[in-house]
Amino acid sequence: MSGHPFRRAVEAGEFDRIGSLFAPDAVLHSPIAHRPYRGPDVIATIVSAVAQVLRGFRFEKELSSVGTGDHALMFRAAVADLEIQGCDFVHMREDGLIDEITVMVRPLRAATVFAERMRTALGG
């Protein structure tokens, strides 16, 4: 298994260590929330919920901008009977910790179902 540390942890199902990949002031910009989620523990909870909601999750491509800490991790999965595609835009600090992740998903119908299921998974 190769690639970005976040990708490796997700692909290995190591959700208990996801939080350790994030800086204390890390921010997750979600496609389903108006306000960002903050902090490694909260982000780890969100990522674990995503793993419960999406089926057949797989990263398909990874792009990195040399020297900037910017990475794009493109994925595909299913939610209900709909295919969903997305991208995790990840920024890593020089110390290797992630300080920002922005998630985008498409198409709209799948994103809507994803949002509904995430609210249920997170108890909201």
List, in order of start, the domains of the chain with CATH numbers: 5-121 (3.10.450.50)
Query: Which of the four pLDDT bands, split at 50, 70 and 90, describes residue 98?
Result: very high
Average pLDDT over residues 60-74: 95
pLDDT of residue 2: 66
pLDDT of residue 17: 93
DSSP 8-state secondary structure symbol assigned to residue 112: H
Name the pTM for this structure: 0.93
| Strand residues in 9-97 grouped as ranges (E) | 22-29, 37-38, 55-65, 70-79, 82-92
Contact call for residues 115 and 108 (beta carbons, < 8 A): no
Per the DSSP assignment, residues forming a β-bridge with 59 are: 75
Query: Which of the four pLDDT bands, split at 50, 70 and 90, describes residue 66?
Result: confident
